[in-house]
Structure 1
């Protein structure tokens, strides 16, 4: 199981380029601007983009004007020329009268009896009662945040275009159209397993096809939960030995076992020696990676960490989970990106939960969804970035509570079972990267995903049960139909043959899951 996610504290703040240290969420919010102000700014940015492109409806254009005026009125944004916005000044001796009038109007508002004009008058009086120096500070803070968000939005838009331009026009192979290509990859994985070899290949050079590249790709991070059999002292000693070996291997900066959420206070970095052992009350321990990129050293270090854990008795149990964090620096405040991401997840929900299973689990058992419940995706989409955060929250399969329209945004894929097999972890990382990237590529598309209704968790298993085919080997058209959702998934998120083959090997090593927990 495990509740070890760091999403509540901006775990793995993802930057577009390498840096020595990456700050926590508190630094990102250093100006202390009220959340309602940021929400208003996000709305202005979103609607302004539609107005500029000529795509806004009359209602949206009107709301854009109203929101901009509201920002100026409530926070006195400095983007308004000084001769256009000047808060009324009180004449000498008027302060007591203004205060009294404000109190009377506040009473009307509290009783729900105030008219629109009275409410507007109250806002005006509050502005007049505010010290001039406070108004200046608020205007400067509002403008600084607005400038910063505008700059990040422009950068996100540019990165969005670059992401689309980098993709090849046509994939190397389509598994939906070329069923034989899928079947060859599936059979090859089964044959490797039969020979006692690793069914899933582990790639170290250009493993993600640019999806996780330091330049032009997305950074990512992993959290690896593990269990150790035995009593409390046995588990504690194993954590200490693992932490010591990680330190001696140059993977961590100290040999200590850190407390839960310790990385939050230390800050995040992409340094290779920033792996960290943390305690977690739900499992024996959790290892938190630094910010990672698709480079040979990353995959070598991941393999070394897994080997160290297993050397000291650590294993992936039914309680453990694996969390993958993926950078969303190019998503911005355009919630069409977030909506397409969640549409993609929902269309392939059952396939993803199958691929989430730890292939080494006895009896092909899945850990369940207690700590990663299926997301509910609104059919009408999201109104703004705050709707995204409130809809896809911690404890669900896909967690987007870090979405703020900033370049430090990231998503967390929580549905993966715990695993200490590097090739399994790598494939799940690549699926997380691929889904995140595909959403940007296809944002705003009206094309349906998966060719019809989404297949929810447990859907394939239920269909097999109803047809009397559960537990039987499928052939012919039944097999084609049963694998179609998976084949469409890999076509949607991958362009290279080797990526589709690796995902197919994971598919061949897992089984459809039951619905519910």
Structure 2
């Protein structure tokens, strides 16, 4: 959530935010909520501080969401009890019709935020409070900091709502629809097959406006890639890593000629500087190259191609066990459970085709590396009722832990992609990831029809008596490509983007469960 607020629990009279703002209680500050509510507020602020420092484990992110729910329920209950105890007392307090009394527990709407702010400002009955809460002045400072949290949430909500509306208004109609025009899909598929037969690069690579605005610096989303690789048998591993690190520095992609420890980029903090690529170690592979924050600009795609070429020239390869992870900015998801639900229901509706597109086209036997490090996400058919219901783990196909924290740094990680050192494949995987996030916010997702979970197409062919190696035609071909065509129409508007995804579809195969 933005910069966040900090509370010094040892010196409550001064609370400083990450942005350097000092919070002090006004001289006429009123008392804070009752002690039980105060305890919840304290816990909320501590968790917020951990999240802003990227130190909150998933269970504490979930607890933050539960506290929001608890605060809403507790404040509503306290109002009803106070009115019964003293009907002469008047409070400007959320009513049963307030958004806070509804089924959603997200601080998403302006009305909900204002109602909760009023609850924080309520003057409670005078009574003794535990000594650990300090003096009334101390508690007032903490209440002021809590209100700043709500102010930040309100500002973030308004900014995100504006971005969502802008995205819907600026998204043009499809220039071509694979769903309605099957022949258009078939032409692109045949063109990819012809390139393959001629021994040419099958999946096109773009360097100018590659994403159609999805990854633009202005109006799009930042993204990042993690490229895992191994070293070819017979090549000295240590020397290869040294050579790769040196050439990355010499090419202006990294600042040093060394291999860093695991997740060192995350610890150092991300930047969009083009020379901030970082070579890291990983216990499962020889190395992992982590990009800075990227945008759809010619230099980004030139640097990606250079990085892949340097790794390959020095003996690097995308072995069967390597993965490719794509991080996508989700600053406009705004803790809105509906956005997360749309994203994950779209993923589940197209899970099988996504795992097909995730396969490294150069893998032996046309097999995906498996789901040990990218398990299919469980997604309830009715969606989520709260952010805390979302399963957000490092080992899942779509890891939304970084998105649940909200704010400008919110991001999701698409982990299902296989490792590849083909920049065209990586670019297409990036665009698929960007497209899914954008479609969820535009409320333009296609999750109709039966869910096609991992292995569905192979099972359908088995039940229909169609061999896995047989080339389909006619209605069988239309049926088996329908889910892919629906997905592409949801994600992309331009014909060139759909053709690029179709080329990757041509190069990959349906996977087993």
Pick the TM interval, shorter chain. 0.7 to 0.9
2:323 maps to what in 1? 321
1:36-80 deviation digits (Å, cap 9, x = unpaired): 5665458889xxxxxxxxxx9959653599999xxxxxxxx8766
Q: Is the 8 A contact 2:106 2:335 kept in 1?
A: no
CA contact (8 A) 2:104 2:386 kept: no
CA contact (8 A) 1:357 1:416 kept: yes
* SS of match in other structure, 2:230: strand
- Residues 385 and 404, structure 1, Cα contact 8 Å, conserved in 2: no
Confirm or deny: 8 A CA contact 1:43 1:67 kept in the other structure: no
Structure 2 spans left out of the alignment, 5+ residues:
1-47, 73-94, 108-115
User: For the Cα contact (< 8 Å) 1:42–1:385, is it kept in 2?
Assistant: no
How has the CA–CA distance of structure 1 residues 453 and 416 changed in structure 2, closer, same or farther, with 3 Å as cutoff?
A: same
Specify which of 29, 36, 39 is matched with residue 52 of structure 2: 29
The change in CA–CA distance for 1:127 and 1:486 in structure 2 (over 3 A counts) is farther
Shift of 1:468: 2.4
- Asked if 1:88 is matched to 2:110, the reply is no
Asked whether 1:426 is paired with 2:427, we answer yes
Aligned partner of 1:182 in structure 2 is 185
Question: Quick one: which of 263, 266, 276 aligns to 2:265?
Answer: 263
Q: Does the alignment pair 1:164 with 2:168? A: yes
**What is the CA deviation profile of residues 350-377 of structure 1, one whole-angstrom value per residue up to 9, with x for unaligned ones?**
0000000001112212111111011110
Determine the C-alpha separation between the residues in 1 that align with 2:503 and 2:229: 24
The answer on whether the counterparts of 2:278 and 2:290 sit within 8 Å (CA) in structure 1 is yes
The 8 Å contact of residues 323 and 415 in structure 2, kept in 1 or not, is answered as yes
- How big is each residue's C-alpha offset from its partner over 1:336-391, in whole Å with a ceiling of 9 and x where there is no partner? 00000001100000000000000111221211111101111022322222223xx1
> Separation in 2 of the partners of 1:421 and 1:78?
52
**Which range moved further: 178-187 or 458-467?**
458-467
Q: 1:147 Cα shift? A: 1.2
Residue 199 of structure 2 corresponds to which residue in structure 1? 196
Spell out, residue by residue over 1:67-124, the C-alpha distance to the aligned partner (whole angstroms, 9 max, x if none). Answer: 99xxxxxxxx876686x4257354xxxxxxxxxxxxxxxxxxxxxxxxxxxxxxxxxx
- Distance in 1 (alpha carbons) for counterparts of 2:277 and 2:137: 47
Which residue is equivalent to 1:206?
Answer: 209
What 5-or-longer segments of structure 1 have no aligned partner? 1-24, 46-55, 69-76, 91-124
Deviates more, 1:35-44 or 1:460-469: 35-44
Q: 2:451 aligns with which of 445, 450, 454?
A: 454
Q: Give 1:242 deviation, angstroms.
A: 0.5
Q: 1:32 to 1:144 in 2, by over 3 A?
A: farther
Hey, what's the Cα distance between the residues in 1 that align with 2:257 and 2:54? Answer: 36
Contact 1:316 1:420 (C-alpha < 8 Å) held by counterparts:
yes
Q: Does 2:358 align with 1:356?
A: yes
The structural deviation recorded for 1:301 is 0.1
Cα separation, 2, equivalents of 1:422 and 1:495: 22
Aligned twin of 1:222: 225
Q: Which residue pairs with 1:395 in the alignment?
A: 395
- Residue 137 (structure 1) shift: 3.3
* 1:65–1:300 Cα change, 3 Å: closer
Alignment of 1:46-57 (within 5 A): none
Distance 1:161 1:387 in 2: 26
* Matching residue of 2:29: none
Matches within 5 A, 1:87-486: 88=126, 90=128, 125-126=129-130, 130-168=134-172, 170-230=173-233, 234-388=236-390, 391-402=391-402, 403-442=404-443, 449-469=446-466, 470-486=468-484
Give the deviation of 1:184 after TM superposition: 0.4
Q: Is the 2:230–2:318 contact (alpha carbons within 8 Å) kept by the matching residues of 1?
A: yes
Q: For the structure 1 residues 423 and 87, does the alpha-carbon distance in structure 2 shift closer, same or farther, using more than 3 Å as the test?
A: farther
1:494 aligns with 2:492: yes
CA separation in 1, counterparts of 2:509 and 2:105? 53
Structure 2 counterpart SS, 1:279: strand
Q: Closer, same or farther in 2 for the Cα pair 1:488/1:235, shift >3 Å?
A: same
SS at match of 1:381: coil
Q: Is the 8 A contact 2:161 2:332 kept in 1?
A: yes
Structure 1 residues 440, 81: closer, same or farther in 2, change over 3 A? closer
TM-score by length of 1: 0.78
Q: Secondary structure at the match of 2:236?
A: helix
- Of the three residues 66, 88, 101, the one matched with 1:62 is 101
Contact persistence 1:244–1:256 (CA under 8 A): yes
